[in-house]
Amino acid sequence: MLPPTCKLEANLIRLRERLPDAPVAGILLTRLIMNLGRGLSAMLEHQIRPFGLTEPEFRVLATLYSQPDGVAYPGDLCACADQRPANMSRISDALVSRGLITRMASAQDRRRLEMRITAAGEDLVRRLLPTVWEPLRSLLKDLPEDEQTRLTEQLKRLGALLESVVGEHGPAAEGGP
């Protein structure tokens, strides 16, 4: 049995035979990135599940933890944690109910909600991060830091190009290429 990437590549070779102008390299690249994203997400979920968190809850909590005063506004967290406002409400409700964050009106602008990580939330993040880092270090151990940096820069560039293309052609289709 061929590994998934080999099957994908074999399918793309057959696609090129039928449609010679098919962007095979681009399709392969995007499928690999999508597959890596799903795999990394599953790996993270496996590490945080014993702590009773979902991946979006973890991202919000870690983002709050990384703030100098542990405070952020929901709109800022939406961008940092890659969440929509409706999802942010659900996530913050779950984190508030567990006592990991608080939510209150801002002292500077009573119309804005302010989210703050609690001592219990900080403790959970401090216990959780080493658990998350262990498989990440294992995954990247054979990829030197300079290669990681180059790959990061290339992915950032690809992300900026994606934003440009999506802006030009409307929202990306669900499921991708």
117-159 tens-digit pLDDT: 999 999 999 999 999 999 999 999 999 999 999 999 999 999 9
Give me 132's structure tokens.
Answer: 């998350």
The answer, yes or no, to whether residue 116 has pLDDT greater than 70, is: yes
The answer, yes or no, to whether residue 174 has pLDDT greater than 70, is: no
The answer, yes or no, to whether residue 79 has pLDDT greater than 90, is: no
d(CA 1, CA 10): 12
Domains of the chain with CATH codes: 1-51 (no CATH), 53-138 (1.10.10.10)
User: Maximum CA pair distance of the chain?
Assistant: 64
Confidence at residue 77, expressed as pLDDT on a 0 to 100 scale? 86
Give the pLDDT confidence of 19-46 residue by residue, as tens digits.
Answer: 999 999 999 999 999 999 999 999 999 9
Confidence at residue 8, expressed as pLDDT on a 0 to 100 scale? 86
% of the chain beyond a pLDDT of 90: 68
Residue 102: strand, helix, or coil? strand
d(CA 53, CA 46): 10
Of residues 80 and 114, more confidently modeled: 114
Confidence at residue 2, expressed as pLDDT on a 0 to 100 scale? 47
Residue 114, beta-bridge partner list: 104
Residue range 66-81: average pLDDT? 87
pTM given for the model? 0.79
